[in-house]
Amino acid sequence: MKCEPSAYSIDDLARDGNTCWEGVRNYQARNIMRDDMRVGDGVLFYASNAEPAGVTGLAAIAKTGYPDHFAWKKGHKYFDARSTKTAPVWYMVDLAFVERFADTVPLATLKATRGLEKMVVTQKGSRLSVQPVTKAEYDVVVRLGRKTAHAGVSRPGG
């Protein structure tokens, strides 16, 4: 799941413990949240439009897809007159914080890592804020994210 750090970051999720993932206004991303996500599913928390963009930590699905009630609130930035309580158009899920990586796993690293060649986020033109990840891809990214914390890697200036 992608989010710009200026809107909501892994640190915000760590502080809050859990949050609803509202405001998704793409049908394909909505369908993934509504139809495919289950409580306990692992989530790669991806900072988009950041330097570097990449996976900053882990979350888990805490509540499966349910109607995005912000779509019903006139004046709210996510309001959509087509969505009603009896016929909701947009859905959201709840996320729970799991872990913050010591360092971001940059997109460049994801693209260069064996086993992630077909990962959706590494594909040209991949812009969805919610994307499917296979178990194998998830496991590779988790290993990458935990590697720097346990490898004793020195960092510039540190």
What is the C-alpha separation between 22 and 9, in angstroms, rounded? Answer: 14
Kindly report, residue by residue over 53-110, the tens digit of the pLDDT. Answer: 999 999 999 999 999 999 999 999 999 999 999 999 999 999 999 999 999 999 999 9
Q: What pLDDT was estimated at residue 130?
A: 95
pLDDT at 154 over 70: no
> pTM of the predicted model, to two decimals?
0.90
C-beta of residue 92 within 8 angstroms of C-beta of residue 22: yes
Domains of the chain: 2-151 (3.10.590.10)
Band of pLDDT at residue 153, cut at 50, 70 and 90: very low
Kindly report, residue by residue over 118-131, the tens digit of the pLDDT. Answer: 999 999 888 889 99
Those residues whose C-beta lies under 8 Å from the C-beta of residue 155, and which sit 6 or more positions away, are: 103
**CA nearest neighbour of 24 among 56, 51, 41, 2:** 2
Q: What pLDDT was estimated at residue 148?
A: 63
What is the C-alpha separation between 67 and 32, in angstroms, rounded? Answer: 13
